Structure 1
Amino acid sequence: MSLPLALSSLAAPRTYQLTTTSLVRLNEAEEQNTYRTIVRQTLLARKPNNTYQILLEVLDFQTEKATLFNELAADLNQVSNSLVVQTDVYGRLVRIENKADMLQVWQRLKPDVVKKYQQYYPPAFFEAFEQNMRAEGVFEKSLRHKGLHGVLLAGIYGYGYVPEAAVPGTRVLEQFFNNIDLPLQTSTRAVAGPEPGQLTLHLTGTLH
């Protein structure tokens, strides 16, 4: 029995609550934190070339432990709290379509953000952040396969899933650490739920 998923099934807006845990280990030091995000996903259009236009709106974001880095990330992430993106037929992020809106938000936030963190980050840091928004395809690399965008734009659509039969694939987490990419060999397995058409997807990745 094949169980296909199609992005066109997301005709009505859907709201998700995502919980992610990060663990960073450096030598003997270890830092762990939990992030909770509420986001609304709306399918805006299906285009003739089998790509999709989707609106992603972050409605709430909370961290378990408050740190300077998390506070900075929350301030900078305001520019991407409302994104209009283009995906391929599988639901993978291709490009951001409302860069002008992002830059407008950043110009409004920039003076206060730069002043707030001037003791910790030089102006060049924030200039580089702005340039990444302006450069074609660069900001997309920081979102693709990561965080909430990696979950909601994971490229799981368009396949005919057969329960218990894995669908192999590959992913590259671009700029995983500075300019270092992390290539992964993935395996997606579908398990039929108790209701008709209900699926649970298990995605695992190993170094490729």
Structure 2
Amino acid sequence: MTRTVDVFWSFRSPFSYLATPDLLKLGEDYDVAVQFRPVLPIAVRSKESLFSDDKRRVRYLMLDMVRRAKFLGMPFGRPSPDPVVQDLETFEVSDEQPYIYRLTGLGVEADRRGKGLEFAFHVSALIWGGTPGWTEGDKLAEAAARAGLDLADMDAAIAADDPMPRIEANQAALDASGHWGVPTMVFEGEPFFGQDRIETLRWRLDRAGLSKQ
């Protein structure tokens, strides 16, 4: 029976973007099924657990995301527009969210079609890789096409079959894993949080005898 690594991931998370190339390699290097499980970002699903009047946390995250991208040699830029409509001075999250629910639903649909991580890779590179106006024109459709998917067909699918129950199930599974942030990888009940914990996960998979080499 194939063993599984669950990947809890968000389109608003720069660290999810930075983890995606290494996550794709897991499926190449190990006899595991890498299950893409997109969740809504914490700013939408539980903002009180992350944001406060202390701005040091946000300042550090902004510093670290740029530094980590440079370390990995990956293109990086603040998203325009932000996938979550939020005032980063007050941390107020708008009631109107035209992007993140659609993106997360598309991620669920991409996973249903067997291309979740591929879709995440190309779309997050569009959002976080420094491309301005990622919502404009055919940019998102072209990113989906690079993953071997048809955006219009996927939009029709999530309009016909609400992905929120699957998103909520992913969020419940993330909570049950013992963590709350993204990216979190879970292997046989053991969570590995953060882009910089993939090497530790690989060590665990090696110990489990799952390397293809």
TM-score w.r.t. the length of structure 2 is: 0.26
Larger Rg: 1
Structure with the largest fraction of helix: 2
